Amino acid sequence: MATLLILGSNAEPALPPPTAYQALACANASGFSAARHGLPTPVFTVMTAVLTSGKVEDDHSLRALRGLATRDLCFLPRPAPRGGPLKRALGHLKQWRLKPFQMRHQLRRLGYRYERFVVRSSAEWHETMRALCGHDPEIAALIAAKQPSTGMFTLAHGIAAGGYRRFILAGFDFGLSHAYGENPLIRARGTTASKHADTDITILRHLAARHDVVTTEPSVHARAGVPLLAPEDTAQASVR
C-alpha cells in the first residue's frame, strides 16, 4: 500500500525525497509550500472554517491559497453552538462567515480549484479522531477542552480513508510560523507556540502507537515521540 505525505504550513518544511511517498495531503494553506517546492497536487486538503473569519490572521492564510488546487477539499467546521434552540440559532447567525458557502465563495474569488467539496459535521470529525485513538478517555477530554489542529485532522482523515500504509509528517513544529509570511498571531500573542500543541502532541503519541506514522521533523520526534524517518527508510518507503 502507498505512503501519504501530510504537509503542514510551517516555514521551511523538512521534505522527504519524492521516492518516499506516493501521494500528498495538505492542511489549510500548506498547498503554498507544496507548490513552491514542486510537489504534486494534493489528493485532499483539509481546511478549517476559520480561514474565512475575516480576521487578519486568517486572511493571511486565505490569501496564500490564490491559484492553488486540490482534488478533494474537506471542510472542517467549528463545533456546533450549544444551548437551547434560540441560543443555537443565534450562534449559527454569528458564525455566518464560517459556513461552507462562505468558504466556496472566498476560494472561488481566489481562483482556488478543487474537484469535490466534502462537508462533515464537527461531531463526525471528532468521533473519527477518538476512534483512531482507541476511544481513550484522555483524548476525549483533550478534544472537548481544545480542538486539535487542522494538521491532526488531516492525518486522521488520511488514516481513516484507507488505502495508505504509512504516513509521513512534514512542515509541523507545534508552532505558529507559516511558509507564506509572518503570522500576525505571533506578534499579537507574543509567542510562536500554538494553543493546539498539548492536544496535538498527545494525539500524535496515540496515533503513532497504533499506525505507521513517521516524521521528517526533529521537533515532532522530540516532543511527540513520532519515529524520525531515517535515510535508509526513504528508499524502502516507495515500495511499501
The b-or-e profile of 140-151 (16+ CB within 10 A means b, else e) is eebbeeebbbbb
Q: What is the pLDDT of residues 47-73, one digit of tens each?
A: 999 999 988 888 989 999 999 999 999
pLDDT of 166: 97
How is domain 2-237 classified at the architecture level of CATH? Answer: Alpha-Beta Complex (3.90)
Q: What is the pTM of this model?
A: 0.88
Cross-strand partners of 2 = 164
Residue 150 has pLDDT above 60, yes or no: yes
User: Reduced to 3 states, what is the DSSP secondary structure of residue 210?
Assistant: helix
Distance in angstroms (rounded) separating the CA atoms of residues 103 and 109: 10
Residue 92 has pLDDT above 60, yes or no: no
> How many other β-carbons are positioned within 10 Å of the β-carbon of residue 210?
11
Of the candidates 124, 128, 113, 119, the one whose C-alpha atom is nearest the C-alpha of residue 98 is 119
34 and 24 Cβ atoms separated by less than 8 Å: yes
Using 50, 70 and 90 to split pLDDT, how confident is the model at 190?
A: confident
Q: In what order do the strands lie in the sheet with 23-27?
A: 113-119, 69-76, 44-48, 23-27, 2-7, 164-170, 212-215
Residue 188 has pLDDT above 50, yes or no: yes
Q: What is the pLDDT of residues 210-230, one digit of tens each?
A: 999 999 999 999 999 999 996
- The residue with greater pLDDT, 84 or 39, is 39
pLDDT of 237: 46
Domain boundaries, the chain: 2-237
61 and 28 Cβ atoms separated by less than 8 Å: yes
Least confident of 32-46, 66-80, 152-166: 66-80
